[in-house]
């Protein structure tokens, strides 16, 4: 065993005819000893070095367990991606009700904002709000501004 100290597992080779004590040979001796190690201090615990031939199998088993763990995690994530989930239904946006401009509404807007139409500039919100209060037309100020822009300021 001293011959392998400081070497990596890949560097260690053992001839097939060479005999190495396996962990099965030493298990019988351990059963007779007191195995209650919780009460013993660290200095009293026997040092056990893994057998060289078992190192390969131990590392293979450890690698296999890690791969199984990763595979199961990936499988769980894959399955959870396809689970049906309840999403709240999207609220449908209400479309505004469109009303046609009547001839009398058109005439009143054209008369009141004649100066702005000639100058090709749009009136402000306050001017339009005053117009709507005075005439009693049931429109939003933005509708009146859009009407002026679309009809006269093309």
Q: Give per-residue pLDDT as tens, 9-37.
A: 777 777 777 666 665 555 544 444 555 55
Q: Is residue 122 part of a domain?
A: yes
Question: Does the pLDDT at position 100 exceed 90?
Answer: yes
55 C-beta neighbours (distance < 10 Å), count: 14
Question: Does the pLDDT at position 121 exceed 80?
Answer: yes
Give the pLDDT band (50/70/90) at residue 154: confident
pLDDT given for residue 130 in this prediction: 96
Tell me how far apart the alpha carbons of residues 15 and 114 are, in angstroms, rounded to a whole number.
Answer: 108
Structural domain count of the chain: 2
Q: 108 and 61 in one domain?
A: no
Q: In which domain, by residue range, is 57 found?
A: 1-15+51-67
pLDDT given for residue 30 in this prediction: 47
Tell me how far apart the alpha carbons of residues 100 and 81 are, in angstroms, rounded to a whole number.
Answer: 50
Least confident of 69-73, 84-88, 89-93, 122-126: 84-88
Q: What is the distance, to the nearest Å, from the Cα of residue 49 to the centroid of all Cα atoms in its chain?
A: 45
Q: 63 and 109 in one domain?
A: no
Q: 9 and 60 in one domain?
A: yes
Question: Does the pLDDT at position 43 exceed 60?
Answer: no
> Model-level pTM greater than 0.75?
no
Tell me how far apart the alpha carbons of residues 32 and 135 are, in angstroms, rounded to a whole number.
Answer: 109
Tell me how far apart the alpha carbons of residues 89 and 144 are, in angstroms, rounded to a whole number.
Answer: 35
Q: 11 and 55 in one domain?
A: yes
Q: Is residue 35 part of a domain?
A: no
Average pLDDT in the chain: 77
């Amino acid at each position: 065993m001293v011959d392998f100290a400081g070497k990596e597992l890949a560097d260690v080779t053992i001839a097939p005819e060479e005999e190495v004590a396996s962990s099965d040979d030493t298990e019988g001796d351990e059963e007779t000893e007191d195995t209650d190690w919780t009460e013993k201090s660290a200095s009293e615990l026997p040092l056990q070095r893994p057998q060289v031939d078992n190192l390969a199998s131990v590392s293979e088993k450890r690698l296999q367990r890690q791969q199984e763990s990763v595979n199961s995690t990936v499988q769980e994530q894959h399955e959870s991606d396809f689970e049906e989930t309840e999403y709240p239904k999207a609220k449908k946006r209400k479309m505004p009700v469109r009303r046609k401009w009547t001839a009398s509404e058109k005439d009143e807007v054209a008369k009141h904002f004649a100066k702005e139409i000639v100058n090709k500039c749009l009136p402000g919100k306050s001017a339009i709000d005053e117009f709507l209060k005075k005439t009693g037309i049931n429109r939003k100020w933005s509708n009146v501004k859009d009407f002026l822009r679309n009809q006269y300021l093309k």
